[in-house]
Every structure is written in C-alpha cells, then in structure tokens.
Amino acid sequence: MKEKVSIVKCDDYRPEMIYQQLKEGLDLLGGIGAFISKGERVLLKPNFLIGRSPEKCVNTHPELVRAVAQLVLEASATPVIGDSPQMGTALKVAERCGVAAVARELGIEIVEFEPVEVKHPEGKFFKRFTLGKAVLEADTIINLPKLKTHGLTFLTAAVKNLFGCVPGARKAQWHVRTSHEGNEHFSRMLLDLAALINPPLSIVDCIDAMEGKGPGFGTPRHVGLIIAGTDTVAVDAVVTEVLGTHPEHFPTLQTALLEGYGTPDIGAIDLLGEEITGVAVDDFIFPPLIRPPSTFRKLLMSILKGPLTTNPFIDKEQCQQCGNCFKACPLSCIAEGVDGFSINAGECIQCLCCMEVCPNGAVDLKDGFLLNLFKRKK
C-alpha cells in the first residue's frame, strides 16, 4: 500500500486558520484518530533549535503546536511537548519561541530528554542509539518539523527533525563518529534513527519556512503550506518536489533512494489535497552544496583538507563573542584569540554545530581556495 502525504494551503498562523487547515490535511489521511487512541500519551516533537522569536522561522511555530495539541486533546489523549536543543533546555527554548505560553494555556507538560541507551537491531548501519527517555515512554509520537535550509544536510524536514530525539551534546558526537565517511554516512545515521523512532505522523510547518543561510539564521520565506504524511522519507520527498529541487542535492533523500529507506520515490506516494504543480515554489534559495569529495580530492584531503572543502568561518564584525560556537564544537576546533573566535579549517569536520547555535548569524560558509579553483575550471 502506498504511503500517504497530504498538502493543504494555509496562508498564515491565525489560530482558527491553522486549526481548520491542519484538520483538513489530517482528514485526508484518515483523521487524527487514525494515529492516536483515547488515553494515550502523545509526544509532540517540534524543532527547538535555539531560543528565537517565531517570526525568525528558526523553530516550529507555536500556533502549529497549539493546533496539533488541540486535536490530540479532542481525541481524549494526553499531549506532551519535548525536544533536546544542542544547548540549553527544551523549556528555555520553548519560553523564547512562544511554545511555553501555549503549553501553559492548554495545561501541557514540556519534557526534557533524559538519555537512555536503545538497541536497534534492524538498523542498516547503526545498531545502537541514545534517545530521550520521554521518546520511549510515549505511546505515540507526532513529528513537527520546521521547513528550513541547512548548510550540512541541504534541507531539514521530517527525517532530520528526529535528530532532536538524541539528547543535547550527544548529537555532536554523531557528527564526529560519521565525519570520516562523508555526508552520506551521516544521512545513514539519520535514516536509521528515523526508522527506529518511526513516528506514525509527521506534520511539516511550511507556512513560513527558512531559506538561504539555515538552519539558525536564514531568511524567512512564505510558502503557505502544511505537508503531512505517514512516512518521514515520503514527506521529505514531497517537500523536495514542492521546492523544485532534485533528490541528488538532498543527501538524506539521495541516501534513502540508494539504500532502500522508506518511500523516497515521488511516483510511489499517494498525494492528497493540493497538486504539487499548483503550489510549487520555483525560486526558493538553497544553501551552497557541500558535495562529497572526488577520489582525487580524497587523496589530498589529509594535507589539504581546508583548501579543498567548504568550511565555516566566523565573521568578526557580526560576532558578539557569546562563546556558543566554542562550547558546541565537538572537536574543539574553535579558539578564542585577542581579536575574537576563529575556526581551524584543517581540523574542522564541517558538522556546522557552530552555525546552528550562533544567535547572531556570525558563522557563514566559504569554499577553500583550491576548491574555488576547481569550480572555476569546471
């Protein structure tokens, strides 16, 4: 049977508008009752990257969280809200992004993710994960990603949002563990993780998305859609089609196609609601592609890694010297000098944790000078 994905239009975040359009989209999938049962504990898993206001489009919008929570309550189930930011607590980020106020109004608990080791024998590449205890305690999980660009993974949507189920700094450890085999190995980890958690429903906040320099400091972009589905990979495939890009640009989706995860083929998905041709975005601004190195480049990487790769750098004029990047770097590649923080490109694994946690947009990407030469020759 085909995986189902629904697309509905939603012009803004007015509570009555988003509730009605969300309900319409879920009704196309069988209604909220197709995913939860009376009395269940339902974990709502938004994107809590860093504490910023809703109009910045960094986190899942509080009104989408409210609408989903209301539907769960109407189904006589108990919603809780949880995520694990790279730095700080879920409650602290929820306060700053507006979700905590919604939780208080509805009497919903915000839970922190206490680490628990979990075996995953069915994983294709990764057989063990550390997850938040609240993820395991929930009867059902509803995945609530924010559609954003991402310097490392190109886009962050349904699959990538589940990386937040890994508690705090342990996410940085995964970057280190997978870095030596390239982006495709990080994508394998994300896909194995998504298969382990296996949420029955993912609802992507595409009303106002983020383009350009995502995931923490890009540009808000109105898309006006809610995309929901029963398979995380299928949802990401539909998002990719709507934005008019190709799966080969999106490492997670490309890996899903090659390694047999989920339903990445748009032709194998039962599309409901709006037709993609009627809602497609033809000028979405994507981040620079961080392509896997060629065989020739791999031979030179040990001595010329910095010049041959795309690297993060710190704009000293925008940097407020908060130290977030220094604390988040998993390999201690960031040093503090007399003129501020700087990144050692030779040691950097391009995980972009520094870019994610910077509250001022001071971390950007640039190609090494030899990579620039290769691009010019092409």
Q: What is the spatial distance between Cα 332 and Cα 106, in angstroms, rounded to a whole number?
A: 42
Q: What is the spatial distance between Cα 83 and Cα 58, in angstroms, rounded to a whole number?
A: 14
Band (pLDDT 50/70/90 cuts) for residue 296 is very low
Query: DSSP class of residue 339?
Result: T
Q: What is the spatial distance between Cα 111 and Cα 137, in angstroms, rounded to a whole number?
A: 11
Band (pLDDT 50/70/90 cuts) for residue 376 is low
Q: What is the spatial distance between Cα 137 and Cα 261, in angstroms, rounded to a whole number?
A: 25
Give the residue with greater pLDDT, 156 vs 295. 156
For 87-119, what is each residue's pLDDT tens digit?
889 999 999 999 999 999 999 999 999 999 999
The pTM (predicted TM-score) of the whole model is: 0.89
Band (pLDDT 50/70/90 cuts) for residue 301 is very low
Query: DSSP class of residue 164?
Result: G
Please say whether the beta carbons of 101 and 62 come within 8 A: yes
Is 328's pLDDT higher than 70? Answer: yes
Q: What is the spatial distance between Cα 17 and Cα 9, in angstroms, rounded to a whole number?
A: 10
Q: What proportions of the chain, in percent to the nearest 5, are helix, strand and coil?
A: 40, 25, 35
Is 241's pLDDT higher than 70? Answer: yes
Please name the residue that has the structure tokens 């520094």: 354
For the CA atoms of 100, 102, 104, 107, the dihedral, rounded to the nearest 10 degrees, stands at: -130
Q: What percent of the chain has pLDDT over 70?
A: 91
Q: What are the distances in angstroms from CA 214 to CA 11, 149, 282, 361?
A: 22, 5, 18, 10
Residues 356-372 have a mean pLDDT of 76
Mean pLDDT for the chain overall? 91
Band (pLDDT 50/70/90 cuts) for residue 314 is very high
Tell me, what's the pLDDT at 339? 86
Q: Beta 269-273 vs 41-46: how paired, if at all?
A: unpaired
Band (pLDDT 50/70/90 cuts) for residue 156 is very high
Tell me, what's the pLDDT at 220? 98
In the chain, what is the straight-line distance between the N-terminal and C-terminal CA atoms, in Å?
44
For 107-152, what is each residue's pLDDT tens digit?
999 999 999 999 999 999 999 999 999 999 999 999 999 999 998 8
Is 231's pLDDT higher than 60? Answer: yes
Please say whether the beta carbons of 116 and 133 come within 8 A: yes
Q: What is the spatial distance between Cα 339 and Cα 325, in angstroms, rounded to a whole number?
A: 15
All domains of the chain, ordered by start, with CATH? 3-279 (3.40.50.11440), 295-377 (3.30.70.20)
